[in-house]
Amino acid sequence: GGSSLLPAAKMADLKTRMVEIKAASVVRRLLQKLRTATPENYDELEAEVFDCMEQQLVDLGSQHDKVQEEVEQALEKGRARVQEIQDQRANEVELVLRPRQLMEEIRNLIDPLKASIEALGSATAGVKGVDGLEGLATQAAAVEAEVKEFSGGVLTRAKEIKEAPQPDVVKAEWAALSRDVVQVKRMGEMAVRAAKAAGATIAEAQRAKRLEAKKA
């Protein structure tokens, strides 16, 4: 009768092994998730792993130590991964800070220039006779100088922005701001040209008047 005991013992052993393998695979499936852990979900995943180990403790049997070691390694890798993500995010924030500061400075240069351009436009539209010409010429020259100074101020900042490593979000913001810069410079140049043209027209009319008067 002794020989009939062996298959039964073997069956029990096999059954135990199957239970252990199943328990181990339940834990390992959870460890897979840790590979893609983020700072947002790491703590939750870690708690899940601990709970799972507790639940599978009895079933793990002889596999326990091996699986425990795998758990510790996976948690360590998960923490390292999360730390790396956090460092990368901090680095990206750092990368964005300086270009954004420079872009803000450029925006602060745009507004006063726009105001000067608008004022010159109004003065050009409002000039009637020769009396206003000197004032208009002075104003036009001031805006011309302002546009030049603005260009210089933008240039030095643009150089630094372009030399810095640019995250996509910065590239997009810089592209939009560059368009604004080009537009305001064009507006300035047009306003100066219009003021000079208006001045020339009035001066010409005045000369023609004087000639007429002489002839008479």
pLDDT of 44 reads 96
For residue 96, count other CB atoms closer than 10 A to its CB. 16
Q: How far is CA 13 from CA 6, 56, 57, in A?
A: 10, 18, 18
In the predicted structure, residue 1 carries a pLDDT above the cut 80: no
Considering only 27-36, 57-66, 91-100, which range has the smallest mean pLDDT?
91-100
Mean pLDDT of the chain: 92
- Give residue-wise pLDDT tens across range 149-183: 999 999 999 999 988 887 888 899 999 999 999 99
Closest CA to 64 of 53, 76, 51: 53
Using only C-alpha atoms, the chain has a radius of gyration, in whole angstroms, of: 39
* Residue tagged 């537009």 (tokens): 183
For residue 133, count other CB atoms closer than 10 A to its CB. 17
The whole-number average pLDDT for the span 82-96 is 90
The whole-number average pLDDT for the span 46-65 is 95
Considering only 53-67, 118-132, 134-148, which range has the smallest mean pLDDT?
118-132
* Residue tagged 């003021």 (tokens): 195
pLDDT of 178 reads 96
* Residue 76 burial (C-beta neighbours within 10 Å; 0-12, 13-18, 19+): exposed
The whole-number average pLDDT for the span 130-141 is 90
- Give residue-wise pLDDT tens across range 181-201: 999 999 999 999 999 999 898
* Residue % of the chain over a pLDDT of 70: 97
Considering only 4-13, 23-32, 153-162, which range has the smallest mean pLDDT?
4-13
The rounded distance, in Å, linking the Cα atoms of 131 and 125 is: 14
In the predicted structure, residue 88 carries a pLDDT above the cut 70: yes
The rounded distance, in Å, linking the Cα atoms of 208 and 216 is: 12
In the predicted structure, residue 60 carries a pLDDT above the cut 50: yes
In the predicted structure, residue 5 carries a pLDDT above the cut 70: no
For residue 20, count other CB atoms closer than 10 A to its CB. 19
Q: What is the pTM of this model?
A: 0.59
